[in-house]
Structure 1
Amino acid sequence: MNNPHFEVLIVTGMSGAGRSTAARALEDAGWFVVDNLPPSLLQSTIDLLQPRPDVQRLAVVVDVRGGPLFSNLVSVTQALRDAHTNVGILFLEASEEALVRRFESSRRPHPLQEDGTLLDALREEREMLQPFRAGADMVIDTSTTSVHDLRRLVDANYRGPGPSTIRVSVLSFGFKYGIPVDADMVGDVRFLPNPYWVPELRDQNGRDAEVSDYVLSREGALDVLDHYASI
């Protein structure tokens, strides 16, 4: 049975244009992501995942790495749309100069390069992808876009309903043991009284009302708390 709310996004485009970055951003935004899936397996993948209540959005990265299997992407996409499946296409591209620079930096071969030059492979790939670009719902040129900007752009367009959330973990520690290696921000509140030195509080922790009341009742404690909360 078709789920009318089930979404499918096909991510394709030029090698080196940021498909992997886009895929990771989509995964972080709640999409179920499958990389390098042959188009002929797309319908069976949808049939497998669509009944699952925990999967509402499927993103599939399809590109020329699939070789001859890639050629039927247009017909497969059209068949899905004819079957009233909610299918979108995100196409990523970049200038020749940007792509050459990225391949030279990564030192990875282009999937179509074989015995030819990198430029020849890029031009062949661009020609192969032209029909998919023409049918894309969104085209992103990443020539001058950083990895972080691309992630933000993908997130802004494909996160879906609901506000973005930021996870904040608060950890107390002793400076004599060193600053936690994964800390993004460190606050020094050693000017506050230490409940450890109060015998009846020593075996309790900050979740106990007696400890929190003892610390927060001191002058300036609430001001510091409000300051950190506002950052």
Structure 2
Amino acid sequence: MSTEIDDVPQQEVLIVTGMSGAGRSTVANALEDLDWYVVDNLPPQMLRPLVDLAERAEGALPKIAVIVDVRGRDFFGDLQAMIQSLREGTKLRVIFLDASDAVLVRRFEAVRRPHPLQGGGTTLDGIATERARLATIRESSDIVIDTTDLNVHQLSTKIRDYFAAEGTPGVQLSVMSFGFKYGLPPDADMVADARFIPNPFWIPELRPFTGQDSAVSEYVFSQPGVEEFVASYLNVLGPVLAGYQRENKRHAMLAIGCTGGKHRSVAIATKIAAALAEFPGVAVSLSHRDLGRE
């Protein structure tokens, strides 16, 4: 017999650890984009209370990612024991990030920061000490990723491949209509201009309506070149959105403008948004910024 507790998602815990400079911040950002609740630099002793809290939240935090590393100082020594404890009764995975010594040295030099374990020695001394401390954890990790030859985009893609839920969109695309006379949307990534279409504003029987009304929409799409414009623009957007996914650009805005943001841009944006919703890996939201301003 089904109960309410059967509907609570199983608690997932991901521990992200590994070499300093191997890409933990990039992984944390990628996981947050995938709706994981990310906690950075948590002492291992706090893992059990955090998991217990999440379980009492009855599904409010179904996916927790915890960044644990040598910044925890003396606390870090308890990580291996805590991992073994959490594996009993929890869906736990450990991801270990690594890179070659030479690449780690270059990364520390690029940010002009010392290795957290180098003390009065060199960066290589700190790396060697850290490798020794992490050897056991690396061997017992579920996933080991060598980031030596990966840039931040490639690492984010790899994390997405591992941890994105089935059906998770690659790009969250906002389609917005607007009126040029009220200014360009400052956060638009792409802008299309619908002012080449005859303006329904100058047709008395259409003026009171908007691009959401069928009479205006039919008028707009009956004009020469409009259907071709939309089809051509969708063809252009296909490789752009695919490229956004490859480069891990997860949020984008397409702004479509006419003079006042009431008729033409609204009709075009509505049509384009509906078509884009069929693109693989794209989740579309539609808004009309200036509708109702005139």
TM-score, structure 1 length as denominator?
Answer: 0.90
The corresponding residue for 1:45 is: 50
CA drift at 1:199: 3.7
The corresponding residue for 1:93 is: 98
CA drift at 1:6: 1.2
CA drift at 1:137: 0.8
> Is residue 77 of structure 2 the alignment partner of residue 71 of structure 1?
yes
CA drift at 1:29: 0.8
CA drift at 1:209: 2.8
In the alignment, the residues of structure 1 paired with residue 61 and residue 201 of structure 2 have an alpha-carbon distance, to the nearest angstrom, of 48
Q: How does 1:124-203 map to 2 (within 5 A)?
A: 124-175=129-180, 179-203=184-208
The structure where strand makes up a greater share of residues is 2
Counterpart of 1:136, as a letter, is S
In the alignment, the residues of structure 1 paired with residue 202 and residue 72 of structure 2 have an alpha-carbon distance, to the nearest angstrom, of 66
Larger mean CA deviation between 113-122 and 209-218 belongs to 209-218
User: Where do 5+ consecutive residues of structure 1 fail to align?
Assistant: none
* Equivalent position to 1:218, from 209, 217, 223: 223
The corresponding residue for 1:59 is: 65
Contact 2:9–2:62, Cα closer than 8 Å, also in 1: no
CA drift at 1:218: 1.5
Counterpart of 2:76, as a letter, is F
User: Where do 5+ consecutive residues of structure 2 fail to align?
Assistant: 238-294
In the alignment, the residues of structure 2 paired with residue 97 and residue 197 of structure 1 have an alpha-carbon distance, to the nearest angstrom, of 68
The alignment-based identity, stated in percent, is 50
Contact 2:19–2:130, Cα closer than 8 Å, also in 1: yes
The residue matched to 2:172 in structure 1 has which SS?
coil
Counterpart of 2:32, as a letter, is E
Counterpart of 2:136, as a letter, is P
Residues 175-221 of structure 1 show CA distances to partners (whole Å, capped at 9, x for unaligned) of 56664332222223332112233344445432233322221121332
* Equivalent position to 1:229, from 234, 249, 259: 234
Residues 96-140 of structure 1 show CA distances to partners (whole Å, capped at 9, x for unaligned) of 111111111111222112222111011111111111110111111
Larger mean CA deviation between 175-184 and 116-125 belongs to 175-184
TM-score, structure 2 length as denominator?
Answer: 0.72
RMSD: 2.1
Distance 1:202-1:114 versus aligned 2 partners, 3 A rule: farther
Counterpart of 1:46, as a letter, is V
The residue matched to 1:167 in structure 2 has which SS?
strand
> Is residue 28 of structure 2 the alignment partner of residue 23 of structure 1?
yes
Larger mean CA deviation between 105-114 and 14-23 belongs to 105-114
CA drift at 1:222: 2.1
The residue matched to 2:26 in structure 1 has which SS?
helix
The residue matched to 1:186 in structure 2 has which SS?
strand
> Is residue 210 of structure 2 the alignment partner of residue 205 of structure 1?
yes
